[in-house]
């Protein structure tokens, strides 16, 4: 399970819109606009698989715990900066918040749990006892991938099946856009499977470390070299746009809507 983890210490940081002047050398350029970098939580070892509950502005993430022996889930309130360490499960690796129901899922080495942020209660959903690499929740449906088998499953209407378009091929990470088109990645690259269609196509040879949707459910992914947005045109063509070039990204979540809709955008980034 530690396969993808480099040894460097990482901080949890965010980039905030500071000025519409592009030619500054500090900060981070996101969609052509300079953002200032801000560390939002220090002393967090390799935070990973972040997600945001947009109704509460709480960021969920996991990090490497004491003596690198375990993975710990935590919740960071982005407004108050209050940080809460979630107890009650072992080896928590991935988090996901369903954008509609706002249910919070945390997956780890013995399955998928649901976390109640008000009561601070965590419970195993009992869907699987496999080692889970990633969980992705959307519209009451739970998608997850296993490790080391790299199989993708979907739990919908009380039924557990393989994910259409992925089937028996390897998938370590996946994400769905607003229209339920599926993107997934394995060591060969990023692949796309349209909601209504039978073909799975190669999008590019990216080394993905996170799929995440923003508040408008636009799907993004990150690689160690940058942040990319996805778009499926009406013709069915997939357009990938590099929205930020940042080195050593380890995971990410998008805090607010992209700046096309709002004047500020916050990108939560991991950086050396
Ligand atoms: C943005 O930066 C430029 C150059 O540093 C400065 O002249 C301008 O006043 C700034 N604008 C705002 C809104 O801060
Ligand atoms: C990744 O997925 C694609 C599409 O299903 C598949 O063709 C390819 O063999 C997979 N790569 C690996 C390493 O399994
Ligand atoms: C996908 O395949 C199924 C079964 O082979 C077929 O009925 C369906 O029309 C195909 N869909 C598309 C969009 O090609």
CATH of the domain at 35: 2.40.128
Range of the domain at 143: 3-176+249-271
The residue contributing the CA closest to ligand 2 atom 3 is: 169
Q: Is 19 in the pocket of ligand 1 (CB under 6 A)?
A: yes
186 located within any domain = no
160 located within any domain = yes
The pTM assigned to this predicted structure is 0.84
Instruction: Please state the atom number of ligand 2 nearest to the C-alpha of residue 166.
Output: 5
pLDDT at 43: 80
Q: Which ligand is nearest to the CA of 193?
A: 2
161 located within any domain = yes
The residue contributing the CA closest to ligand 2 atom 9 is: 169
Q: Is 21 in the pocket of ligand 1 (CB under 6 A)?
A: yes
66 phi and psi, to 5 degrees? -45, 130
SS (H, E, C) the chain: CCCCCCCCCCEEEEEEEEECCCCCCCCEEECCEEEEEEEEECCCCCCEEEEEECCCCEEEEEEECHHHCCEEEEEEECCCCCEEECCCCCCEEEEEECCCCCCEEEEECCEEEEEECCCCEEEECCCCCCCEEEEEEECCEEEEEECCCCCEEEEECCEEEECCCCCCCCCCEEEECCCCCEEEEECCEEEEECCCCCCCEEEECCCCCEEEECCCCCEEEEECCEEEEEEECCCCCEEEEEEEECCCCCCEEECCCCCCCCCCCEEEEEEC
Q: Rounded to the nearest whole angstrom, what is the distance from the C-alpha of residue 213 to the centroid of ligand 3?
A: 28
Ranges in the chain, pLDDT < 70: 1-28, 34, 36, 68, 256-272
7 located within any domain = yes
Rounded Cα distance between 69 and 171, Å, is: 25
Considering only CA atoms, give the Rg of the chain.
17
CA dihedral 149, 9, 265, 253 (to 10 degrees): 20
Q: Is 24 in the pocket of ligand 1 (CB under 6 A)?
A: no
For the chain, how many structural domains are there in total?
1
241 located within any domain = no
Pairing of strands 28-30, 33-41: antiparallel
Rounded Cα distance between 219 and 140, Å, is: 18
Q: Is 129 in the pocket of ligand 1 (CB under 6 A)?
A: no
143 phi and psi, to 5 degrees? -105, 145
pLDDT at 40: 80
Q: Is 248 in the pocket of ligand 1 (CB under 6 A)?
A: no
The residue contributing the CA closest to ligand 1 atom 3 is: 21
Instruction: Select from 191, 192, 201 the residue to mutate for testing ligand 2; criterion: most ligand atoms less than 8 Å from CB.
Output: 191
The residue contributing the CA closest to ligand 1 atom 1 is: 19
97 located within any domain = yes
pLDDT at 129: 93
53 bridge partner residues = 58
pLDDT at 47: 85
Please check whether residue 209 is in contact with residue 223, taking contact to mean a CB–CB distance below 8 angstroms.
yes
Q: Rounded to the nearest whole angstrom, what is the distance from the C-alpha of residue 21 to the centroid of ligand 1?
A: 7
189 located within any domain = no
182 located within any domain = no
pLDDT at 29: 72
Please check whether residue 15 is in contact with residue 35, taking contact to mean a CB–CB distance below 8 angstroms.
yes
Q: Which ligand is nearest to the CA of 198?
A: 3
Instruction: Please state the atom number of ligand 1 nearest to the C-alpha of residue 18.
Output: 14
pLDDT at 27: 63
């Amino acid at each position: 399970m530690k396969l993808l983890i480099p040894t460097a210490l990482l901080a949890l940081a965010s980039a905030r819109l500071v000025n519409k002047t592009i030619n500054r050398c500090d900060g981070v350029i996101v969609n052509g606009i300079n953002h200032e970098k801000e560390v939002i939580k220090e002393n967090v070892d390799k935070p990973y698989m972040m997600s945001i509950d947009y109704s509460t502005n709480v960021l969920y993430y996991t990090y490497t715990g004491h003596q690198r022996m375990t993975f710990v889930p935590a919740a960071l309130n982005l407004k108050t900066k209050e940080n809460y360490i979630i107890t009650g499960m072992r080896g928590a690796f991935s988090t996901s918040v369903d954008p509609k129901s706002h249910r919070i899922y945390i997956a780890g080495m013995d399955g998928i749990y649901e976390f109640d942020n008000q009561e601070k209660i965590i419970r195993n959903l009992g869907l699987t006892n496999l080692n889970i690499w990633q969980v992705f929740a959307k519209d009451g449906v739970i998608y997850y991938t296993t490790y080391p088998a790299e199989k993708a499953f979907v739990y919908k209407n009380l039924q557990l099946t393989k994910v259409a378009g992925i089937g028996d091929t390897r998938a370590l990470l996946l994400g769905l856009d607003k229209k339920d088109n599926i993107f997934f990645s394995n060591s060969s690259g990023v692949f796309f499977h349209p909601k209504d269609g039978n073909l799975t196509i190669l999008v590019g040879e990216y080394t993905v470390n996170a799929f995440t949707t923003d508040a408008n459910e636009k799907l993004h992914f990150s690689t160690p070299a940058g942040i990319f947005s996805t778009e499926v045109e009406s013709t069915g063509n997939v357009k990938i746009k590099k929205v930020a070039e940042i080195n050593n990204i380890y995971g990410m979540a998008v805090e607010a809507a992209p700046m096309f809709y709002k004047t500020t955008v916050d990108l939560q980034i991991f950086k050396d």
